[in-house]
Every structure is written in structure tokens, then in C-alpha cells.
Amino acid sequence: MYNIMSYPPALNYSLRTLSGVSSASFRIPCQTTNAVSPNGQIRMSLPTNSIVDMRKCKFVFCVETTGTGNVRIPEVVAMIQRYQLSAGGVPISQGCANAHVLKQALKIVHPHDEGDPCDHHPEIFRYRSSVLGQDISGVQETYRVGTEAKDNATFFELSLGMFFDSCEPRMISTDLLPQLEVELFLNSANVLISAGGSQLAGVALTGIDVDGTKDANYTISQYSLIAPCYALNDDSYSAMLDAMIVANDYLPIGFKEYYNYSDTFTGTFQGSNGSSCLNRLIGVFRNSSDVDAQGGAVYVQGYKTGTANVSGVPCQLQSSIHHGEKYVSKALNFQAPMTALPTVDAVAVAPATFSSGYPNLVWRVNSVSLPNFNVPLPQFYGLTKNAFDVDKTMAQSMVEYLNNRFVIAINLALPTNNVREKSGLNMRGSSSTIRLEAPITTNLSTNHNLQVFMETTCELRVSSGKQLAVIN
């Protein structure tokens, strides 16, 4: 009998000693082949009869933009609205709606996952592209699309969704499963940035943050799947898997699944969840007028505006590529739901005065308050760090947190919670009521879109004959 706890973590159900391991990465064309426009879909299949490193599977693609004036590509994570995974036509992970919002929220609370500027395009620029270094002031930000490497095409890459980001073991033998297929649902063109200007303009916010003609559009082309695969030169691994199926009736593959609610927050939100393992509640707010509307990027509070430092707030030192400026797309700007926000005055010698007061929020799960007190909005910063067990986030100041990085979260599992050791709240058999309330409404805005993401742990059970069951 094999002892699963002794196996290497990456393969989890591998033998204690592995010999004759070989590896290779494959570029796999997608079933979809033509250039894809906004709101389109792209389908791809994973390799069969291989041990695939799910965490390193990437969707690789080129982007071209069109439109009048200064079109800017957003954080490329904004391009994908939803991810879906199936096996032999059987859904494994439906993928939550507004996956780009969720990924941005997770990036904020895990700043080490911010993304590589060379191929992830995590930043927005108005002067010079960090990808190729070319001057993009006054022109569209777009990249050459070629058919061969010699054509100097510029490629970006994204992971394939939450199943791939979280599954354990991360390396899965696909010969145990029916054909794995991934479908990507693209976002609308409203996630693009239509900017009115591009020249550095001193302290005045008259550049990329000003609305342009709002006719920006994009196409994705030259896309493919990159899949790292491994092979063994004997049958010991397969024999061990077969033995585990015989002994336990199935092989378990744990993964995270997220469920999304979207609503205009007027002081109360209510949803439900019937999962057996509810781990976290995550909420972000966006100004409703920015959710589905093109326009200029949003200036991130506390950074340089043009060529001058913001007085009263330390300028965050950035590279010369974008001269210390920092922006975020409207679609991914998370703003506290307040009618008046503390901001940095870019002209005065000190930050703008703020005396409007803060609303309070509290989560309630089956009528139990979490935490057990009303929380002023700034205090959610520490609670959110606790919810993800991190020491810092992407926000560099409280002003930035409230204006641009406002994520509120509560943890319902042990700090060490992972997909192997379920410790979340069992919502089965309960009234399953989840609420977010504003018991103190001072300065509360009723014109903010609320996105609530409910993080759960699921399990894919693989039985003999490629039989599958998903347990939530």
C-alpha cells in the first residue's frame, strides 16, 4: 500500500523515487483560429496521455487596438471575463462571472503576483511602453502582430483560470480524464482606455486620465496554449494511481471555485451559498458610472502627476518609463463606496482636507456578524490582510487603498486553509444567508457597483473508466 503523505508535493500521488523523468513544453493551437473580437470566445484542449503542470499552462496571445487618439491597453487580466473548464463535455469549473475583477482583487492582496511587465502588461502607460520601450505618447498603444517569430510579434500571457491556479496536485495525469477543454470568454471593448491626451503636463491631470473619443476596440490573434508536460520511462506511476483508485474508489483533486454576485449597493446586499466549504467572502466596489463605460484611466492617489511630485505625500519611486505616474483602468479601479473620499491635492502644499466621516460595514453569515463589530471603512484594510494572511498589499497609503485598491474580505477558514485540508464553513443544511450591511451610513454612496466573490473549496473525484464527480 502506498503512503500518499510521502510523495513529492508537486505530484502528490507519485512514488517516493522517480527515475527516467523527461519534460517538454508544447505549443498547442486552439480550436478557434481566427482573430477574436470583444465578447468573443476561444476554445483550447489540453494534451492527452501526459502529466501536465497545470500551474504553468498559459494562454499566449497578441493584441491589436483600433480607435481615434490615445487608445491604451488595460491590465491584460481585464481581457478575460470568464474561464470555463470541462472534461469530455462534463463541466468541472464553470468559472465565475467578472473573473477579471476577482483576479485584480487577488493581485492587490498578493502584491508578489502583480505580474511581469514583459509579458503580463500589469501597468498602464501614457508616455513609453514598458513592453517594447517605444514612445506611445499621442498614439495608440498597440503591438506588432506577426505570423512567425521573425515578424517580431509581441506576445502576452495569462493563466487559464482558478482551477489551474489552485488545483492540488498541480501536476495531473491527463490519461485518467476525458479530453480537458478550456473556454475563454472575452470582455467587451469597454475595458480599454480611451484617453484624451498623452503628453506629460506638469501637475495638471490632463493626460491619460482624460476621456477620449471612446471608440477604442481590440482584436486578439496569434493565440495558442503553452503546456509544460512530463513523462516517465516506466509504469510505476500509473500502477500507483491504479492502486489508489482501487483502494479509495477515486483520486481526489482539490481546487478553489468562486461564485459571483453583482449589485448596486444601497446599504444592504444579500446572497447565498450552499457549499460544504466556504472559505472567504471578498467584496469590491466600483463607481457605477465606470463599470461598463470607456474613458480615461484613473490616476492612482499618491503618485506623481506628470513631471512634478505630489506635495505632502511621498512620491512613489518608479522607473523612468512612466515618470513615477501610476494609473488603473476604470474597470479595475476599486473605490470605497463614499460620496466624498480623502484625496491628494496635486496643486496645494498638503493633502486635501477630509472631514466627511466614514460609513461602517459588516458581513453577516446566517445572522452572525463577522467581525462582531461595525467596521469603519479604513479598518477593513487590516481585516483584509488578516483574511489572506499577508503582511502588506499593493496599496502604498490609506488614501490609495480607499480610492483605488479597496478590497474588503473576511476569512471563514483556518489561516493555513488549502484545498487539501478543508476547514471552511459548511453552508449545507443552513439558511445560507450572506449579507453585507452598512449599519452606519454617514457619507455612504448609493451609486457604487458591488462585486461579491465567495471562495469555496471543491474536489474533483476521478474514478476508474474516466468517471468524474465534482463535490462542492
Q: Rounded mean pLDDT of 87-109?
A: 94
pLDDT tens for each residue of 336-357:
999 999 887 544 445 556 778 8
* pLDDT reading at 435 higher than 60: yes
* Alpha-carbon distances, residue 100 vs 165, 209, 222 (angstroms): 14, 21, 21
379 — pLDDT class (breaks 50, 70, 90) = very high
* pLDDT reading at 29 higher than 70: yes
Strands 21-29 and 171-173: unpaired
Q: Work out the percent of the chain whose per-residue pLDDT is above 90.
A: 55
Contact 377, 102 (CB under 8 A): no
Look at residue 46 in the predicted model and tell me its pLDDT. Answer: 96
Q: To the nearest whole number, what is the mean pLDDT of the chain? A: 85
Look at residue 12 in the predicted model and tell me its pLDDT. Answer: 54
Look at residue 186 in the predicted model and tell me its pLDDT. Answer: 97
152 — pLDDT class (breaks 50, 70, 90) = low
Q: Rounded mean pLDDT of 283-298?
A: 91
* pLDDT reading at 203 higher than 50: no
Look at residue 246 in the predicted model and tell me its pLDDT. Answer: 86
Query: What is the CATH number assigned to the segment(s) 21-471?
Result: 2.70.9.10
* pLDDT reading at 151 higher than 80: no
- Give the residue extent of every domain in the chain: 21-471
Q: Rounded mean pLDDT of 92-116?
A: 90
pLDDT tens for each residue of 211-265:
888 999 999 998 999 999 988 877 777 788 888 888 889 999 999 999 999 999 9
209 — pLDDT class (breaks 50, 70, 90) = confident
Q: Rounded mean pLDDT of 152-161?
A: 86
Q: Rounded mean pLDDT of 282-292?
A: 93
State the residue for C-alpha cell 506628470.
306
Task: Give the residue with greater pLDDT, 21 vs 253.
Answer: 253
Q: List the grid coordinates of 188.
A: 467587451
Residue 25's CB is within 10 A of a number of other CB atoms, namely 12
